[in-house]
Each structure stands twice: as structure tokens, then as C-alpha cells.
Structure 1
């Protein structure tokens, strides 16, 4: 994680130089002064394009450690860099020696980063090297699962998107990529649209300052200049005032934690009285969403069938007071090597007036990778190796699942049946398993074959005896 942090700072420094170059070109074209310059004329020596040419590693190290790094920590203002500067106040420069710094600067400079995808791929590669779960129950969501959830939700340019446990901002990055792919014209049709995309569309909360720095940089490298990535303990009483602000929530909140009633927001306890973080986060999502807002979130299987009063109450709220749209049951290997817990994707819409008619279930059995700790890629063209394209296709045409049998991978279950089962949302409660009928030979025939085999063995024994005589 520390290596990624240090790389983050260098990529950030490089990006600031690129932004300044863009401002200079614009000023040259228009004949106007540079608009909100990042570097003044007296700070030119702090720019990547200047210091990368220093031949002496010791001079480079001294300049970066004593001048450049303090400079990026002190940045502010309303420009593209402000979000990142806010998370830099307790950052430390820990690259140990001049030779290593010089080598890393040369290597980063050699990578062509004009393309947003190149920068994003580099960052995704680094994030993929975080091989252990975090201290607070958080672990990195695999990119293909994030992409699946984003494609199921199909964000629109008008959406205000939030991840209240954002970590490295994987969900927000994927949502930004989806919008760039499917709605690029609308995002940049005028200055107001571009400002909305860069400043107002994406919101992420986390209380881990390292994650905030890494997540902010991840967004920047994927072309979102100034997202609202905030240091916030989403479940605490101190942030209880935030509600009804977002039209789309994408999240994989921490599991298996518990909070003291005193430290938890009182309005969440009013929705569901519990100490369990996974239930509190679901209550939080309902609070944060606007009426009509949608959510796709990862939950541990226990949320779907837990028998405690809080578990049942929350499931009843989702089914009766809002619109529970669907549940994708995932195999237990999806989060390996971080964790082997069984999980599901919960998809719902906040209505405050009910609306659940049928709930769509999908039994995911394969995600394109082996379900062991190695997570090797399988032949994704085969359905039995990768259900993800089928999930997306069936989700967007789920009305057509009305007549599917419960033996298939996806089907609809009426609300009345779910209510009759004490709001149990486990797919095993509703799917039907077909047992293949095995046809056995008649006993007389099996006995005759055994006798024949016995006779063959005896003949072989006789032959062996003859050979030994």
C-alpha cells in the first residue's frame, strides 16, 4: 500500500504538469493570461517536465523531497487539484534513496499517459497488487464484478452517484468509464455539463485517509478532475444530516463489523436497531437515496436469510416499503483470495411507497475466473465458465423471466410468496433442483456380469499357474 501511495504522489505531480501545459496552450491560442495557473513563473523548477531532466539523482531527490512534495501538500483553490490536496495534509514522502527515485521517475516518464485508459490501466495494475483485506473488514471488489453492477444499473449523465464506503473508488471509476463510453457527447456538450461531470456527479466517503488519497488519484487518472471524495465515517452520528441526495448508490460496504449504539447515527437505529455494519449500511443507503433512486450493493448471504429481528425487519422494509428489484447470488470464490464469504448483489429502488411486485433472482455459478485462490482466467466464451453477459442480458429483459421455471438460472418470485416465507431472500428457498434419474441395470444382469468377471479372473490365475510350473 505504501508503494502505491508513493507512486500516487509521483503520478499526481506528473498530472499537475500536464494540466498546466493544457492551460498554457489555451492561453497561447486565445492570447489571454493563463487561467488559474498551478505553477507560477517562480515555481517552474517544481514541474515534472523540468526536474525529470536533472542528471544528478541526489539533486532530484532533494528537490522532490524538500520542494515539490511540500508544494503539492499546500495546493488548494477551486481548481481540479483541490480534492486531492485536501487528502494530502498527512501524506509523507518515504521513497528511501535518490537512485530509486530517479529510476521510478524515468520509468513513469517513459509510459505514454496521454490516454486516460493507459493511466487507468497502470493504476488498476498497482491496486491489483493489494493482496490482503483491510483492517476494517474492507476488501477490494474485483473489477469485473464492479463492471457487472455498473452495467446493470446503466448510469445516466443526470445521475448523482455515491459510494459511502468507497475505498480505492473502484465503483466510481467504473461508473465514470460507463458514462464516457455511452454518453460522452452529453457529458461535454457545454461547459456546465463538463463541470457537472467533473465536480458534482461522483461522491465517495471513507474514513481511511490512505484510501482517500489513492481513491482520489484513481479518479483523476480516469479523467474525473474533482470528485467529492470525503473523509467521513458514514455510519456515525456526526454525519446523520446527509439524506436524500443521491440517485444511484454502488457499494460493497464492510461486512462482519459491529458498532456501539452510542457511536452510530440515531436515525439509522430508527430504521433498524442493530450493531451489525452490513445492516446499518443498508439502512444508510435508504437514507442517502432520493425517492426514485437506485442501488446495487454487495451483501453477505446472511443478510438474505438471517433470522434476527433486525435482519427480518430490514428485509421487510425493502420488500414492503420500497421496490426490491433483484438479487444475484454469487459463488463463494468471487472474493478470493481476500475472503471466502458467500455474497449476493442486492438491487433495489427507494420509493417510500412500496412497488415490489416480483423479485428477480439469478443464480450466478461462474464469473469467468476459477473460484480458487489463484483466480485464473477461464474461457469466457463458454456460458458455464462465465455467466456475466447472461446476467446483464436477462436483467435488462427480466420481464421475460415471468414464465421461466424455477429450475433455470434466473426466475421471478412473486412478492406474496416472499412475504409468506418471512421475507427470506435466499435463492435456495425458491429455486428447484432437478435430480437426474439414474437408470440401473437389473440385479440379475449385474450378477451375471460379476460371475463372468470372476470366471475371467480364474482363467487368468490358471494361466499364471501353468507359466510357473
Structure 2
């Protein structure tokens, strides 16, 4: 095999995925099975020299007990391990919650154990190396199946840029209330270790590992991926950093945080969601009634905006990915925007290009705002907008978003500097500038306090030579149609419920 050792292991792991795909196993399910086996192998390694730590898993359920079995006995024992560990507490219980033995062929299971997991000394690897292997596996799973890990997978290049401008510190407590596979929490942790590890003492490093990252994820299968992702990158397993299976919108967690970084699930209609005994989502058509919300709405994204602002402490900062409808929708949307603009400093909006998310048909933005103490005068003085959408064309495979595509935004943001120092790139002399600002009075006068702001000329409307490639254009049209269908479906469902 060619490439670096990390990529070699990812490629080897993925070669097994294609074999299991032929047996009817989805990419997401395969990644889950890797998670179970990898955890058991690492738990075993920790109990051996030179680590000699107390065994996390007893001998009759450990890695060696799998290696000692073959055939139907192996398949039966594997099922027994998953069922038993699913009832444990702490991180083990979270990793194995509602675990299912999806690999039906004992020979394939044995090959996965002996050929893929066993030969590698996982604990001997640096945390970032084994973490990169797992992250690579998650990335491939997302790429191959948008209905698997993809729907929970925010482009890592976007996450890196958001974290770069937010500049988390080792003293911060960071929260993602819809953490998916843990991308935001992991990137924030890596940023701190890269920038501040040299200045941290042993107590600060221990705190970083144990009390820096906090997340919630409704779907247990996705939560286990997040837990393993963080664990492999060096974040402590106990206390478990991720709470799974609970709807984070249902109530306030009782804690507040310095940073909230999140990309909540797409989709407008909201209801109380419960994970059933079989691990599937069940929904009760009841809107959220919370005293700490400004208004009651069934719009999931608007509810997440209300929720994340309640998670911030008195100096907290937030970056949240939101679809376009959050910026312009009337009724509850206008109420929430006007309250947010007055009670928080809503200082930056990044308009994202299409074609960068695994979930198709998404037109999204990143909204940045800071918590402030109460006062009569609105806290938002000036909203800075960066347009990375107009005349930009990206696709997941042929032209994916790169971190360099966000360099100008990061430079314009001027991380760590007062917002008053920012300078626009747009002017009457430079009408193609992508960075400009609007003061509070301008925004307050806009119909419904509409934040869906754009000013650049769409060149594709003026010159056929600037049209995207046919396949990109077809994808954009399909995305728009899919979005429209989802809107109609939501309206139809609403009418039926009435």
C-alpha cells in the first residue's frame, strides 16, 4: 500500500467496508462495528504492560475472549458482549448503548478482528494519529452515504475556520448541543493543544481532558461515534463528555458555557423526539414550551437559536450554523431575531456556499454572537457579513471546500481583535468585495429584521460563460427542488395536523 501509515490503515479499514457492503451492511453500521471492536482492543491493551491499568472489561468479555473463538461460537459470544456492555454505566455504557451485532457472517467477523484490529498496537500510537485514522473512517462513511454519518458530518474545513476565528482557550468550557460525530468539540480541543499546550501546567492539562468538551447527541448510534472520536484524540472517557439519547431542546441542561459551537440538524418542523427501545426515533407532535424561550415555535432551527443563547454564560460566545429561513422567516423568526439583536452582540454572518454539505439542498450560514449583560440600548452595533456563496460553486467530490477557501474570511474577521478594527473589502470602487457591514439602525429598519443580506452581482444571470458546469448546475437545480418539496411537505403535514 502507498501513502502514510495513517492513510494505509484507513484504506485497509475501508476495504473491509466494501466486502461487508456486499453482505448488506451499511457504511454507517460498519463504522459502528469498528467502534465496538476498537474499544475492546484498546481496553485490553491498557491492561497489559507497560500500562498495567485496571481492566475496563472483565476477562470473560474482553478482546482475548473474542480472539479465542471461531465460527458460530464467535458470533454468539460477540452478541453476548454487546448486550452485556450495553447495560453498563459511564463511557462504556454510552459506547455500547443499544449496540447491535450487525456482522452476520462469523468468518467475516473473525477476519475483521484478526486482520484489521489485532495487528495494530493502538495505545502505542499518538492520540492524534489514531484519532486521525478514526476521523478518516468517519469522513469516508459520510462521503459514501449521506443518510449514514453524512447527515451528522459538518465539513471539517468549515469547522476549522470557525474554530480559528473563535480561538478557544484551555480555560474555556465548550458545548455542542447537537454534536453529531464530535467535529466541533474535537477541532476546538486540537486548537487548544496546538496553541496552548506549552504554557499549560499538569492541572490545566488534566482539566482540558476532563472538563473542556461537552456535547449532546439525540441518536445513540451517532453519539457513540462522537465519544470514540474524542476518546481516540485524547479526551478523557470518564466523565463521559457526550450525553446521548436525550432531546437537548426539551430542557435546559442546568449548566452554562464559555463557547457554543454547533451545526444543529437541518429540517424546519420541530417536535419532542424520543429514542425508543429499538433505538429508532419516535416523535410526539408537541411544540417545545420553555419559560426561557422568547417565543413558542415548531421551527427546529429557530428553537436551536433560542436554546444556544440560554447555554452561554455572561461572557459566552456562540457560532451556530443556520439555514436561510432562520434569517428571514416572519412571526416567531422576527421575534427571535429582534430579541437576539438587542440582547446579544450579533456581530458576524458568514453566508455559506451550496454543495458543501452531505445533506443536499442546504443553503446555510454561520451566525456569530456574544452574550452581554442586560441594558436598554441594543447590544448589536454593527453586523459584518461575508458572502462566500455568490458566484462560488463547490461539490463534494470534484471541487470540495478547502480550508484555503475561507482564508479571506478569517483574515477579515481579525480573530482576537476588537470588532471596531475591522475594515470592509466592499466599497463603491470595489463592488466585488465580499466583506461589508450594516449598522443596527439599517438592520432594524429592514422588513422583519431580515438578515438574509446580499449585494454581489450573480454573474451566472448575466453571462452564460460564468455558468457552473452542467453537472453542478443540475445538482443546484435538484437541491432547490428538494428544498421546495420539503417545504411543501412541512406545510401539508401542518395542515393535516390541524
Q: In which range does the TM-score fall when normalised by the shorter chain?
A: 0.7 to 0.9
Give the equivalent residue in structure 1 for 2:260. Answer: 249
Of 308, 311, 328, which residue of structure 1 is paired with 2:333?
A: 311
1:390 maps to: 408
Q: 1:235 aligns with which of 249, 255, 258?
A: 249
Q: CA deviation at 1:20?
A: 2.4
Give yes or no for the alignment of 1:183 onto 2:196.
yes
TM-aligned CA deviation for residue 310 of structure 1: 1.2
Distance 1:291 1:355 in 2: 13
Determine if the alignment matches structure 1 residue 355 to structure 2 residue 366: no
Q: Distance in 1 between matches of 2:148 and 2:105?
A: 29
CA contact (8 A) 2:347 2:383 kept: yes
8 A contact 1:157–1:179 mirrored in 2: yes
Alpha-carbon offset, residue 363 of structure 1: 1.1
Q: CA deviation at 1:64?
A: 4.9
With over 3 angstroms needed to count, the CA separation of the structure-2 counterparts of 1:312 and 1:89, relative to structure 1, is: closer
1:224 to 235, 250, 260: 235
Compared CA separation, residues 46 and 372, structure 1 to 2 (3 A):
same
Q: 1: distance between equivalents of 2:290 and 2:400?
A: 44
Name the counterpart of 1:91: 99
8 A Cα contact 1:268 1:284, kept in partner: no
By relative contact order (CA 8 Å, sep 6+), the higher-ranking structure is 2
Do residues 345 (structure 1) and 366 (structure 2) align?
Answer: yes
Residues 131-180 of structure 1, C-alpha deviations (whole Å, 9 max, x = no match): 44459995421111111111121111111111111121111111121122
Alpha-carbon distance in structure 2 between the residues aligned to 1:416 and 1:169: 38
Provide closer, same or farther for how the CA distance between residues 296 and 314 of structure 1 changes in structure 2, counting only shifts above 3 A: same
Corresponding residue number in structure 2 for 1:461: none
1:216, 1:434 → 2: CA distance?
43
1:425 corresponds in structure 2 to 451
CA contact (8 A) 1:186 1:193 kept: no
1:19 equivalent among 25, 46, 51: 46
CA spacing shift, 1:405–1:183, aligned 2, 3 Å:
same
- Per-residue deviation, residues 98-142 of structure 1 (Å, max 9, x unmatched): 321222122223345312233222222222223444599954211
Cα deviations by residue, 1:167-219 (Å, 9 ceiling, x for unpaired): 211111111211221122455x22x4344223322111122111111211111
Mapping for residues 21-420 of structure 1, pairs under 5 Å: 21=48, 25=50, 36-38=54-56, 43=59, 46-48=61-63, 50=64, 54=68, 57-58=70-71, 61=74, 64-65=77-78, 68-69=81-82, 72-73=85-86, 75-76=88-89, 82-105=90-113, 106-111=115-120, 113=122, 114-128=125-139, 129-130=141-142, 131-134=144-147, 138-186=151-199, 189-190=201-202, 192-226=203-237, 227-231=240-244, 232-236=246-250, 239-240=251-252, 242-243=253-254, 245-260=256-271, 263-267=286-290, 270-306=293-329, 308-335=330-357, 337-353=358-374, 354-365=378-389, 371-377=394-400, 386-396=404-414, 399-402=420-423, 404-406=425-427, 407=431, 408-420=433-445
Q: Report the CA distance shift for 1:20/1:301 in structure 2 as closer, same or farther (over 3 A).
A: same
Cα deviation, residue 297, structure 1:
0.8
> Root-mean-square deviation (CA), in Å?
3.2
Distance (Å, rounded) in 2 between the aligned partners of 1:62 and 1:132: 27
1:204 is paired with a residue whose SS is: strand
Q: Name the count of aligned residue pairs.
A: 402
TM score, norm. by length of structure 2: 0.72
SS of 1:416's partner is helix
Q: Which structure has the greater CA radius of gyration?
A: 1
- The offset of 1:37, in angstroms, is 4.0
* Structure 2 CA distance for aligned equivalents of residues 86 and 395 of structure 1: 38
Aligned to 1:150, the other structure's residue is in SS state helix
Alignment check: 8 A CA contact 1:243 1:287 kept = no
- Work out the CA distance in 2 between the residues paired with 1:158 and 1:375: 40
State the shift of 1:221 in Å: 1.4
**Distance across 2 between alignment mates of 1:334 and 1:387:** 12
Name the CA distance, whole Å, in 2 between partners of 1:331 and 1:66. 44
SS at match of 2:101: coil
Residues 330 and 343 in structure 1, CA contact (< 8 A), matched pair in contact too: yes
Which of 406-415 and 140-149 deviates more? 406-415
Deviation at 1:288, TM superposition (A): 1.3
Q: Secondary structure at the match of 1:291?
A: strand
In structure 1, distance between residues paired with 2:409 and 2:301: 24
**CA offsets per residue over residues 194-250 of structure 1, 9 Å max, x none?**
4422332211112211111121111111111224211220122xx24x355111111
Q: Is 1:401–1:411's contact at 8 Å kept on the other side of the alignment? A: no
